[in-house]
Every structure is written in structure tokens, then in C-alpha cells.
Amino acid sequence: MWLDFVDPSRADLEALIEPLGVHPLSVEDCLDSDQIPKVEDFQRHSFLILNTFTVEGSKIRVDEVDFILGEGFLVSVSGRTGRDPGILERLEKTIPLNAADIGKGPDFLMHLLLEYVVDGKSKALEAMMGEIDAAEEHILKDRPAFDLNTLVRLRRQLLVLRKSLFHEREVMIKICRRDSPFIGEKSVYRYRDVYDHLAKFFAQVEISREMLLSLMETHLSLVNNRMAAVAHRTNVSVRRLTLITTIFMPLSLVAGIGGMSEWSMITGPENWKAAYSSLLVCMAVMGAATYSILRWMEARSRRSDKG
């Protein structure tokens, strides 16, 4: 017997306690949507929790699927968020039911459902890896408009997926170890294939996390390089303005004195032509000398920096 519940009420699940011997703790876990993947063995059944990943735009939604496996029956619970159409509806639309295998027992049926749930995770992982590749392309092109929040969002999503896959892998290890008495020796080999898929997905998540860390470091390095280039251009401009100011400061002093009556009083008003000609020559010599000294000091400073 297979009972598939989509968004059930408490009364629906509590009705299974007496006829099927379902433990009340399993009912509570089915009604609690904030559970990590796990497997628990009770006297008359085994209880499993797995997660499903659904891509919604740039987000990945994580939902819960519960399985109650007993002698001659399987209960599946999903869609408590009101967004999941349920395992049975999607399963009938995507893969044909293998009547020969399902007729061998509920453990074979649960393997079929677990395989479908686990394989469905590949779409979410492929979507995330595609976003990581796109972010890498933007970063390597050194586009200033790239938003670092994209990497932060991907990192958070990968942490959620990693947590789910880590616990699901532990669940499959216990199943393959035959800790559950309701999974026979003939069907346990099929669960090992599901474990291989989970191990592969977990490795992909780890690789993606390392890529994200590398991309974040690369992005920060490029930002620092751009800031250093801007700072260098600013320093060059300030240095040039300082050079110009230093050159014209003594010239302004001489021009201020020479443009007033003191210079005429020193040279005499009758010699004003020669006096102002010598003033201009003096200003040119002072400017050239100041410029030469500053250029020599700047070149010496650059050689010391390179050294």
C-alpha cells in the first residue's frame, strides 16, 4: 500500500497511528517543515526526511519530503508549503512507473521515489554553477558594475545546499548499512546508486564553494587595483600642482616687490627700462632654477622607490 499525502492536516496523519503503527513523533516531524534530513528506526516503521531543491528565478527553494516505510506500506508526505504539487503528480508526468519493481515491495517503491527526488537536485546545482560561471566571466572582464552581492547570495545558497546534502548522504549511509529492517537485501543495492549521486552532488557543491571564494578574492583584488590606479593618478596630479605652486611662489614674491615702487626707488626712476628688464630676467632664472631642482629631487625619489 502506498499513501501519498500532499499538504495533509494533523488529523490526516494521526489517522495512521493506530492502523499502521506510525509513531506520534513521526507525525510531529511530518508537520514540522523545519527539519534536517534524517532517518529514524521505530518498532513498526522507519522514518526518513529528504529535501527537494526548486529553482525560482535567482533563488533556490528548499522543501521537505517525508517517508514512512513499514512492512507492506509506504507513506510519503510533501507539499506542506502549498507550493509543491506532490511526488506522485510530478512522478507520473516525468518518469513511467515500473510496475515490476514496485510490485516487489515498498522498499523498491521508496527507492524509485528517492532516486527521483535526488536526481531533481541536479537542476538546482546546474543553475547555480551557471550563475557562478557568469559571475566569473564578469569579474575576469574587470567590469566595475559587477555586484558583489551576487557572490554573497550564491555563497549562502551553497551553504544551504551543502547542509542538506551532507545530512542526506549520512541518511543513505545508514540505509546502505542496512540499519533499517524494512529495507531488504535485494533492494539495498539500488540505494547505493542514490548514495553515489548524493556524493557527486556534494562534491560539486564543495568545488563551487572553492570557486566562489576564489572569485571573491579575485574581485577584491581587482577593486584594490582600480583604487590603487585612481590613487596613483591623484598623486601624480597633486605632485604636478605642488611643483607648479613651488615654482611660482618665489616668482610671485619677486613680482609683488618689483611691481611696487620699492624697485623704482632702488634703481631710480630714470633707469626703469633696464630695471624691469633685469627683473624679468631674474624671475626667469629663478623659475628655471627652481624647476630644475624640483625635477632632480623627484627623479631621485623615484629611483629610491624602485630600489
Element (H, E) at 161: helix 149-176
Residues forming beta bridges with residue 264, ordered by sequence position? none
- Domain boundaries along the sequence of the chain: 2-226, 236-306
Determine the pLDDT at residue 39: 92
Determine the pLDDT at residue 201: 92
Please choose, from the candidates 36, 33, 65, the residue with its C-alpha nearest in 3D space to the C-alpha of residue 160: 36
- Helix, strand or coil for residue 98? coil
178: phi > 0 → left, psi -120 to 50 → alpha, else beta; which?
left
Please list, residue by residue across 172-195, b when 16 or more beta carbons sit within 10 angstroms of its beta carbon and e when fewer do.
bbbbbeeebebbeeebbebbeebb
Length of the chain, in residues: 307
Phi, psi of 146 (to 5 degrees): -65, 135
Q: Are 254 and 282 in contact (CB under 8 A)?
A: yes
- Helix, strand or coil for residue 178? coil
Determine the pLDDT at residue 170: 92
Relative to beta strand 2-6, strand 73-78 is parallel
Determine the pLDDT at residue 286: 76
Relative to beta strand 38-41, strand 73-78 is unpaired
Q: Is 119 exposed, middle or buried (0-12, 13-18, 19+ CB in 10 A)?
A: middle
What is the rounded distance in angstroms from the CA atom of residue 299 to the CA atom of residue 245?
A: 18
Give the up-direction half-sphere exposure of residue 214: CA atoms within 13 A in the CB hemisphere: 10
Please choose, from the candidates 63, 16, 65, the residue with its C-alpha nearest in 3D space to the C-alpha of residue 42: 16
Please choose, from the candidates 202, 37, 213, the residue with its C-alpha nearest in 3D space to the C-alpha of residue 125: 202
Please choose, from the candidates 28, 108, 106, the residue with its C-alpha nearest in 3D space to the C-alpha of residue 69: 106
Q: Reply yes or no on domain 2-226 having CATH 1.20.58.340.
A: yes
What is the rounded distance in angstroms from the CA atom of residue 241 to the CA atom of residue 304?
A: 22
Determine the pLDDT at residue 68: 93
Please choose, from the candidates 226, 228, 215, the residue with its C-alpha nearest in 3D space to the C-alpha of residue 144: 226
Taking each helix axis from N to C terminus, what angle separates 121-140 and 106-119, rounded to the nearest 10 degrees? 20
Determine the pLDDT at residue 179: 85
Mean pLDDT per block of 10 residues along the chain (307 residues) reads: 87 90 91 87 92 82 90 87 62 63 83 86 86 82 74 87 91 89 86 91 90 83 79 78 73 64 60 72 78 76 65
How many C-beta atoms surround the C-beta of residue 170 within 10 A? Answer: 15
Q: Are 161 and 60 in contact (CB under 8 A)?
A: yes
Please choose, from the candidates 69, 80, 167, the residue with its C-alpha nearest in 3D space to the C-alpha of residue 110: 69
Determine the pLDDT at residue 169: 92
Q: Are 97 and 104 in contact (CB under 8 A)?
A: no
How many C-beta atoms surround the C-beta of residue 109 within 10 A? Answer: 22
Determine the pLDDT at residue 88: 64
Determine the pLDDT at residue 297: 73
What is the rounded distance in angstroms from the CA atom of residue 59 to the CA atom of residue 61?
A: 6
DSSP per residue, 81-134: TS----HHHHHHHHS---HHHHTT-HHHHHHHHHHHHHHTHHHHHHHHHHHHHH
The x, y and z cell numbers of residue 162, run together, are 551543502
